[in-house]
């Protein structure tokens, strides 16, 4: 996204191209994010005891099962609680995972689209309309561009990605300890952009303390 943004800032492209390309990127992020979460569900089912195989294809299904069977696996309950995603089916959309899931499902199954506003110089301003999440979005004043629910994508995704990375780290620590696996450093392209977003967002969030 940052590369695409730089191209539109440095070239005289029509603004509609900017909005169309970035909207496709944002929708793709939602799809990939949800897929990663479902892969994590498969890992959890493999390495945690007493979890039914029916939960291996969906983090949503796994969370709901754990919530209904809180006493069957204390370690897994603690993992989900620590990462703020252990909720009932009616409240799961209020969590970081539930929020991404709701929007992804709206895009993939209900015809919703990511709407991008402004020019490249204005930043990554977007909105995906979902009536169920309007009250939740209204609470996120540190990432709101305006009161109509238009968000700064870099700030919004910084929060979501941070939560996902913390969750992945906790799962990884459990697996490494269980099987005495040595820690390895992994470098992934694209993380520099995320790190830059996180750093900038951190400075913005401090203004709201």
Global pTM?
Answer: 0.83
| Cα–Cα distance for residue pair 160/158, rounded to 1 Å | 6
pLDDT tens per residue, range 144-194? 998 888 999 999 998 899 999 999 999 999 989 888 888 777 666 666 777
Q: Is the per-residue pLDDT at 117 higher than 60?
A: yes
| Cα–Cα distance for residue pair 198/155, rounded to 1 Å | 7
Residue 128's closest CA among 45, 53, 24, 52?
Answer: 24
Domain edges within the chain: 2-206
Write down the pLDDT at residue 135: 75
- Give start and end residues of each alpha helix (H) in the chain: 2-10, 15-47, 59-68, 74-82, 96-109, 134-138, 153-179, 191-206
């Amino acid at each position: 996204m940052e590369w695409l943004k730089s191209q539109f800032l440095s070239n005289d492209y029509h603004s509609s191209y900017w909005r169309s390309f970035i909207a496709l990127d944002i929708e793709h992020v939602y799809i990939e994010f949800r897929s990663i979460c479902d892969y994590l569900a498969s890992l959890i089912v493999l390495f945690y005891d007493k979890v039914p195989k029916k939960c291996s294809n969906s983090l949503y299904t796994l969370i709901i099962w754990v919530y209904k069977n809180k006493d069957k696996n204390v370690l897994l309950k603690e993992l989900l609680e620590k990462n703020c995603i252990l909720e009932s089916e009616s409240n799961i959309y209020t969590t970081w995972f539930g929020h991404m899931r709701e929007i992804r499902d709206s895009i993939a199954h209900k015809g919703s689209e990511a709407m991008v506003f402004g020019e490249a110089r204005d930043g990554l301003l977007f909105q995906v309309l979902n009536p169920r999440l309007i009250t939740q979005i209204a609470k996120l004043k540190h990432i709101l561009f305006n009161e109509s629910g238009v968000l700064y994508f870099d700030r919004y995704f910084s929060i979501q990605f941070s939560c996902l990375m913390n969750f992945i780290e906790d799962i990884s620590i459990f697996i490494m300890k269980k099987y005495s696996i040595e820690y390895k450093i992994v470098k992934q392209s694209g993380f520099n952009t995320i790190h830059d977003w996180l750093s900038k967002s951190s400075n913005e969030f401090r203004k709201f303390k």
